[in-house]
Chains A and B, each alone.
Chain A
Amino acid sequence: MAVELSSQLLVSNTLSGLVYGLMLGALASGLTLIWGVMKVVNLSHGYLVVTGMLTSVIFYKYILNVSPTLSPALAFVIGALVGIAFYYSSLHLIIGKAETMTLKIEMSSLMSTFGFGILILGIITFAVNRGWILSNEGLSGWTLSIHGKTYLEVAGTHLEYTKLLGAGLGVVLVLVTELFLRKTVWGLAIRAVAEDSRAVALTGYDPVKVKLLTTIISTIMALIAGALYAIYLSSGISVGLESQIAPLSFVIVVLGGLGSLIGTLIGGLIIGLTYNITLALTGHSEISLSVAFAILLIILIVRPKGLFGR
């Protein structure tokens, strides 16, 4: 009887861990793009994701009062605007003209992206203090039900439709971006800048434009993934989530290999699974986080380029 129970627990945590993992992969994907292409370790990534989450809440509560399923569209628009602001305020002067990263450039971009994150935090805190948006409110009152049920039952496990939708659209987001990078001219230019930006200039494209575009796409990805994460969570959405999203994203990006979107999905799956299973076994999220970092350490020793790194 006890054996049966724990194996059921294992099955359900594996299934929910897979869904969680794909969601985490999508949340980290914007980070891997800007890191892989521009060698910028974007310390504001977690706050960009939070901005996306709040976008979803605002969309639902304050603007249209229609299903948050449509909020990624708003996240796209806001993401583009924030991306432009992010590039020109924090990156252009430091890496616009640079062809290779020196230690000085790397340090400066760490500082400036950190600063941009603090700026976002400040704006959100201000809005919350003014009572413009409520903290911790989430999408309460909204559920997704099909045929009167809010979950899908697989092998005795209840997988909520909101989670499946958030994670599923997250996978779509990553795959669409991957397709863009493979099949369009500007996608090619982005991949080329990642390897030799001077050669891109000699082929008739302005590397500064390509970097701006990379920043915009990366920011849009972070915001859309955030909007989807709001759908996934449905409740308990707050700025504080940044401290959970940011470290996990860094682990996943390094695990998957810098610049690899597919690697990020796989890395997300691995971390999502181990996170959920260790959480189920121990009941402590701190332990789960430690295990995630232990996996990172092992990867750094065994395969420093990450699973799909070049």
Chain B
Amino acid sequence: MAGQEYMLVVEDLESGYGETQVLFGVNLKVRKGEITALLGSNGAGKSTTLWSIMGVIDPWKGRILFKGEDVTHVPPHKKTTMGLVLVPEGRRLWPNLTVEEHLTLAAKTPRSRNKVEELLDLVYSLFPRLKERRKQKAGTLSGGEQQMLAIARGLMLNPEMLMFDEPSLGLAPKLVQDIASTIAKLRDELGLTVLLVEQNVHMSLQIANYGYIMENGRIVLEGTVEELEENPRVREAYLGI
């Protein structure tokens, strides 16, 4: 039964770009129905971890288990259709495609095909602005709307687990709060499992259940949110207290 407790398990993951190693044996586990935060400063290797989990970068060493299954070398489009979805850093929308076209492309995948109405209702109720702008090209949306669309595209894939790479990046404080409460809602109301990568430690600890701190391609600290908030090192380096 122990295998059922975790949605995602990363074991001794090593990875990098070309000759340059970036990750040196990363271990982390994401419990079902929880938000797990992966925190760290610029260049720590957080995005590289997510790209390697997705298979966009093929891992050098180690194992990745999704729902107990070894998916280490499964390509990203297949992982996506297994229910593991990444909302990437920098949104990565298609500027000349409309809001609706983004959602349609995601909705026509095998997992979503039979639930399109339901998923569209969900997405438009979470982000009513996207409904207003559904005929608009993504390149003409504001930064906040673009982040909403990136999340909406991910949700249209009908995921079991969502990974977010810095969803708060470049957004005004009010919008950061909106995104944070949306992510909490996905866990609380839909039971989704979340791996949240952030530099905004305040925001993350507010909604997460468990957290990892990454430095120079290694996990240096982990614990429940309460433990992390108490930790003097975290308080000094990341919370500025």
Interface residues of A (CB under 8 A from B): 185, 188-189, 191-192, 195-196, 198-207, 310
Contacts and interface: CB of A to CB of B under 8 A. Distances in A.
30 contacts: A185-B105, A185-B108, A188-B97, A188-B105, A189-B105, A191-B94, A191-B101, A192-B94, A192-B97, A195-B95, A196-B92, A196-B93, A196-B94, A198-B56, A198-B92, A199-B94, A200-B77, A201-B80, A202-B56, A202-B76, A202-B80, A202-B86, A202-B88, A203-B105, A203-B106, A204-B81, A205-B105, A205-B109, A207-B77, A310-B96
A202 B109 contact: no
Contact of A201 (B75, B95, B104, B153): B75
B54 interface: yes
Contacts, number: 68
Contacts of A310: 96
A192 B103 CA distance: 12
Contacts of A207: 77
Interface residues on B, range: 20 to 34
Contacts of A206: 75, 77
A35 to B, nearest CB: 16
B117 to A, nearest CB: 17
A195 B94 contact: yes
Nearest to A207: B77
Contacts of A189: 105
A204 B154 CA distance: 10
A166 B80 CA distance: 45
Contacts of A188: 97, 101, 104-105
Contacts of B92: 196, 198-199, 202
B89 to A, nearest CB: 11
Contacts of A199: 88, 92-94
A189 B81 CA distance: 15
Closest 7 CB pairs between A and B? Answer: A204-B109, A199-B92, A195-B94, A204-B80, A201-B76, A185-B108, A201-B77
A202 B92 CA distance: 10
B157 interface: yes
Nearest to A199: B92
Tell which of A188, A195, A199, A202 has the most Cβ of chain B within 10 Å. A202
B80 to A, nearest CB: 4
A214 to B, nearest CB: 15
B106 A204 contact: yes
Contacts of B88: 198-199, 202
B106 A185 contact: no
Given A203-B105, A203-B106, A195 B77 contact: no
Nearest to A195: B94
Interface string B38-73: 000000000000000010100000000000000000
Contacts of B96: 191, 195, 310
A195 B106 contact: no
Interface in B120-152: none
Given A185-B104, A185-B108, A195-B94, A204 B75 contact: no
B85 interface: yes
B48 to A, nearest CB: 14
A98 to B, nearest CB: 13
A198 B97 CA distance: 15
A203 B56 contact: no
Contacts of B81: 204
B97 A204 contact: no
Contact of B97 (A185, A191, A201, A202): A191
Contacts of A201: 56, 75-77, 80
Contacts of B77: 200-207
Contacts of B109: 203-205
A74 B217 CA distance: 57
A202 B162 CA distance: 12
A206 B75 CA distance: 9
A207 B75 CA distance: 11
A202 B54 contact: yes
A189 to B, nearest CB: 6
A205 B106 CA distance: 9
A199 B105 CA distance: 11
B88 to A, nearest CB: 6
Contacts of B56: 198, 201-202
Nearest to B91: A199
A192 B111 CA distance: 20
A191 B98 CA distance: 11
A203 B54 CA distance: 12
Contacts of A205: 77, 105, 109
Contacts of A198: 56, 76, 88, 92
